[in-house]
Chains A and B, each alone.
Chain A
Amino acid sequence: MSHVPPTPDAAAARIDVVNLTARYHGRPAVADVDLAIEPRQVTALIGPSGCGKSTLLRCMNGLHLTVPGASVTGQVLLDDADIYAKDSNPVEIRHRVGMVFQRPTPFPTMSVRDNVLAGLQLGRRLGRGAPHDEIAERALTKAGLWHEVKDRLKAPGASLSGGQQQRLCIARALAVEPEVLLMDEPCAHLDPISTLTIEDLIREIKETYTVVIVTHNMQQAARVADTTAFLTMSAVGDPGRLVEVGPTERIFSSPRRQTTEDYISGKIG
């Protein structure tokens, strides 16, 4: 590995989910999903609880397979290469496809600065001479957090507010210069102001990255997503399936399927 820091704006990648079924202990949680995720766009996954949004999202960086008893069939093509192919390297995939979780998860024993740099310390991606401070600043600036924390870089990550912690996690994910950023209900535990801050941030980072966001909040999907995919299951215990996908505006104004309309208008879910 070279000791040159990663290029600031790595190319955004596209993802094609092809006939994907994800299972836990043999039971499918989402089935037969075909979904194209365009680069430099925000794609939202919406649908009722338990329809497999998180599972689908976690299939896109292979995290799904780290769960005991989990399996997948089908393909997830990251710039045309199947991440589930025999010769693909899961560690490298997760390096290219970053993820932000529902609950902010800064590493509790690390400072703000070390949290941001955590991903870069892995596998010696960053040489000793690398400009750590600049990289940390750049990532924190991208996450819109720099001005709030520049005087407390040494403070523990856990000492920040919930919204700040979530942006710290975004900065940590962005610091490794991924090509895709997956976000699983990133605002579920945040107050309205922090939520809006993060939505602004999402609109900004899609200029350089591919973003996939799971959300329960339909206004949020309408505000940030270019494309929206709606999943649902036909009955409790059945796997979730992709019902409809299209430009966000179209999905919300004139859904083609009755179930989509019912969900958006609040009749189900």
Chain B
Amino acid sequence: MNPLPGSPTPWRRVRARRGGTDTVFRYAVRSAAAMVIVVLVATAVFLVQQAWPALHQYGILSYLGSDRWAPSEATATGRHPNPYGIAQFVYGTAVTSLIAMVLAVPVAVAVSLYLTEIAPGWLRRPLSGLVDLLAAIPSVVYGFWGIFALIPAVRPAGVWLSRTLGTAPVIGPLFAGPFFGVSYLVAGLVLAIMILPIITAICREVFATVPTADKESALALGATRWEMVRMAVLPRSRSGITGAAVLGLGRAVGETIAVTMVIGNNVLSITTSILGPGSTMSSVIANEFTESTEPFHLQSLMVVGAWLLVIALVVNTVGKLIVRRTGEDIA
């Protein structure tokens, strides 16, 4: 671009501006970034601080070593054994998240393949928008829907699972006992629908980065659309899909209200069967913190919260790293 006669050259103008608004902008952005880190660290410090009396009393390991949560047995002197075992909550979080992943990932991959490769052009945007809208439904609404629509709908399937697989060798305990309605299974289903939008959105971006040249070389060999997907799109997207799944897992691990409404909130011990009621780390906190009157009760919920934070941070970081690495692979 030619500078206007009489005006300073563009280069000079750029340099001049560096001293003024640019600097302000740079500091504003930097302090916003710093703020995020401060909030994160402060949250972690706060949790550990609050949990400290209980941790000091019972020790970290006694929490993970027991699956019995019985606040009424706690004493003010904090005598052992630790009545606040949290292994069943870890189990609940793991099981519900796993169910959610197993159900949501294949569906999300299929939906995003459809949206990027198969659907007619005019349908892609509205349909993508619709999937994204699933993320806008408030968590409590999912909870209500889970109780009043999903549970009655899956009851026959639950009963059938308990009848057929309940006595099977090896996997039998996972499906043993009667179907309660409120259960890990229903919580997992609700979570699956809740994490579907994020996994779909990421998969869509991952598939969109596959070079046209790759897809065309498959088509030019006489591949059908589906064969092209298998030959050119999926192999390039493997780590991207993994990353998307892990980020979805990050969501599932922390999700609270909807899960609390449909999981049954059994805290007494591990219910192995996914057809039975249980609790997750987040649901027990949501359920009990307003009435945590027993000694060390609130502090023990803080311990659960601290562990949840650790798990969520690890899962999300791993997911982000995997997604980022895919981006670099392709570039």
Contacts and interface: CB of A to CB of B under 8 A. Distances in A.
Contacts of A176: 221-222
Contacts of B231: 107, 118, 122
Given A107-B214, A107-B231, A119 B219 contact: no
A105 B213 contact: yes
B72 to A, nearest CB: 58
B229 to A, nearest CB: 12
A105 B227 contact: no
A258 interface: no
Given A68-B121, A103-B213, A122 B232 contact: no
B73 interface: no
A95 B216 contact: no
Contacts of B75: none
Interface residues of B, number: 18
Interface in B175-217: 211, 213-214, 216-217
A101 interface: yes
Contacts of A101: 213, 216-217, 220
A78 B96 CA distance: 57
A40 interface: no
Contacts of A138: none
Nearest to A94: B222
A55 interface: no
For the residues of B in contact with A, the DSSP-based class is helix
A91 B222 contact: yes
Interface in A163-180: 169, 172-173, 176
Q: Sort chain A's interface into a size bin.
A: 20 to 34
Contacts of B121: 68-69
B297 interface: no
B216 A119 contact: no
A151 interface: no
A63 B216 CA distance: 8
Interface of A: 61, 63, 66, 68-69, 91-92, 94-96, 98-99, 101, 103, 105, 107-110, 118-119, 122-123, 169, 172-173, 176
The 4 closest A-B pairs by CB, nearest first: A95-B222, A119-B221, A99-B220, A109-B235
